[in-house]
Amino acid sequence: MNRNQFPILSREVYGKPLVYLDNAATTQKPLCVLDAMREEYLNVNANVHRGVHWMSQQATELHEAARETVRKFINARSTAEIVFTRGTTESLNLVASSFCEGFMKAGDEVIISTMEHHSNIVPWQLQARRYGIKLRVIPMNDAGELDMEVYQGLFNAHTRLVSVAHVSNVLGTVNPVEEMIRIAHAHDVPVMIDGAQSAPHFAVDVQQLDCDFFAFSGHKMYGPTGIGVLYGKEEWLEKMPPYQGGGEMIATVSFEETTFERPPLKFEAGTPDYIATHGLATAINFMTEIGMDNIRAHEQELTRYATRRMQEIDGMRIFGTATNKDAVISFLVGNIHPMDMGTLLDRLGIAVRTGHHCAEPLMNRLGILGTVRASFALYNTKEEVDVFVDGIKRVAKMF
Ligand code: PLP
């Protein structure tokens, strides 16, 4: 991998070479993505979908080509199933809002899990207040693996939807979503997958998973901020009511009645961030040229290597030891507060995340207030892992 694509990785902080291990929060952007967006602003910029003029048509072509790139990336059947959103959070809010409005009533239930990000908890709670629906929560074992027996037992006549993370942003657990979807479908219940931490790291095939909805964010996979994707099976998107109203999403409007566009436009009110969709498509092409399997192999090796080296450290506690685990390592050392560890590592040029990682219910389950989290991307190296492990040892010695 050519790190020169990421000039930011060569900078220094506090006079130390930057070691960027906060990739689960957001990744750095390669030059090709920045160039593509700059090029579009400089040469093509015009609002999409509504213009007869040349530039508007060029911009629309780039925007719709980006939709096709996303379709191919996750192997959706049709571009009608690819809705552009601001990110995973908006995708989850869209489904929570439209699905509940369309298909749920008081007493109905949504199944989520203990390890969800707040963005897969709070949107359901907002709807729960509005419609009187209930949340059921799949528990997990101490390794951070979901209890599949309890999961099966949660289904009843009121279950309307399952919404779970593909990969935990805290534990790195890769949940057995294919099996979970099979079980849900056996009960005629559709499934939403939060793919914020899976799409950046390994190949996702929505047809093979057979998920009904799948969400991810561009900024966590080398693309720009403010753009993300909701995949939804066409049959669901056709039936779901719109999420927001405005331009682009309508067929006809009068003061008496409005008819809507078909998906995906039905869910894309207002001017889309068409520069960002082009940036996202460029990022996807960047990843697929490297190869998702190569990205996975590299990150798996780094995660294994880092885990092994971290276990050399006295008092090291790693949270999340699932057999199937991705490129995230959450930890604590002795009784060093995660904020202290994070702040002191930062002084050594090492960027990690500390705190509850937007997963407070998971922290409660683990009986802790927070962790330090290192998360890897395709550009990280073993040398950086060595600097990171030496950094933890230095900090530990100070306490
Ligand atoms: N879900 C998971 C598992 C995440 O890790 C994150 C972000 O950290 C989100 C959802 C929310 O993503 P975004 O802030 O890009 O909408």
- Name all residues whose Cβ lies below 6 A of ligand 1: 24, 87-89, 117, 119, 165, 169, 194, 196-197, 217
Beta-carbon contacts of residue 60 (< 8 Å; ≥ 6 apart): 48, 49, 51, 274
User: In this predicted model, what pLDDT tens digit does every residue of 39-82 receive, in sequence order?
Assistant: 999 999 999 998 899 999 999 999 999 999 999 999 999 999 99
pLDDT of residue 51: 84
Which atom number of ligand 1 is nearest to the Cα of residue 26?
8
- In this model, does residue 1 exceed pLDDT 80? no
Q: Is 172 helix (H, G, I), strand (E, B) or coil?
A: coil
User: Euclidean distance between the first and final Cα of the chain, in Å?
Assistant: 37
Out of 3.20.20.450, 3.30.70.20, 3.90.1150.10, 3.60.21.10, select the CATH number for domain 3-29+292-398: 3.90.1150.10
Mean pLDDT of the chain: 97
Band of residue 2 on the pLDDT scale cut at 50, 70, 90: confident
Which atom number of ligand 1 is nearest to the Cα of residue 119?
10
Strands (E), the chain: 12-13, 16-17, 19-20, 82-85, 109-113, 134-138, 159-165, 191-194, 213-217, 228-232, 250-253, 258-260, 316-319, 328-333, 350-351, 353-355, 371-375
Beta-carbon contacts of residue 137 (< 8 Å; ≥ 6 apart): 111, 112, 113, 114, 361
Q: How far apart are CA 193 and CA 258, in angstroms?
A: 31
Compute the distance from residue 380 Cα to the ligand 1 centre, in Å.
21
Listed in order, the ranges of the chain carrying CATH 3.90.1150.10 are: 3-29+292-398
- In this model, does residue 293 exceed pLDDT 80? yes
Pocket test residue of 88, 116, 166, 229 for ligand 1, highest count of atoms within 8 A of CB: 88
Which atom number of ligand 1 is nearest to the Cα of residue 87?
16
Q: How far apart are CA 55 and CA 50, in angstroms?
A: 11
Listed in order, the ranges of the chain carrying CATH 3.40.640.10 are: 33-289
Closest alpha carbon to 202 in 86, 95, 303: 303
Domain 33-289 adopts which CATH fold? Aspartate Aminotransferase; domain 2 (3.40.640)
Which atom number of ligand 1 is nearest to the Cα of residue 25?
8
- In this model, does residue 282 exceed pLDDT 80? yes
pLDDT of residue 50: 80
Pocket test residue of 85, 86, 117, 173 for ligand 1, highest count of atoms within 8 A of CB: 117
Token pair listed for 390: 């030496």
User: In this predicted model, what pLDDT tens digit does every residue of 295-342 receive, in sequence order?
Assistant: 999 999 999 999 999 999 999 999 999 999 999 999 999 999 999 999
- The backbone torsions φ and ψ at residue 273, rounded to the nearest 5 degrees and listed phi first, read -80, 80
pLDDT of residue 14: 97
Over range 264-268, report the average pLDDT.
Answer: 97
User: In this predicted model, what pLDDT tens digit does every residue of 127-171 receive, in sequence order?
Assistant: 999 999 999 999 999 999 999 999 999 999 999 999 999 999 999
Pocket test residue of 22, 114, 116, 119 for ligand 1, highest count of atoms within 8 A of CB: 119
User: In this predicted model, what pLDDT tens digit does every residue of 88-138 receive, in sequence order?
Assistant: 999 999 999 999 999 999 999 999 999 999 999 999 999 999 999 999 999
Nearest CA to ligand 1 atom 4: 196
Compute the distance from residue 87 Cα to the ligand 1 centre, in Å.
8
233 close to 82: Cβ distance less than 8 angstroms: no
Helices 54-74 and 274-290 pack at an angle, to 10 degrees, of 40
- The backbone torsions φ and ψ at residue 84, rounded to the nearest 5 degrees and listed phi first, read -85, 135
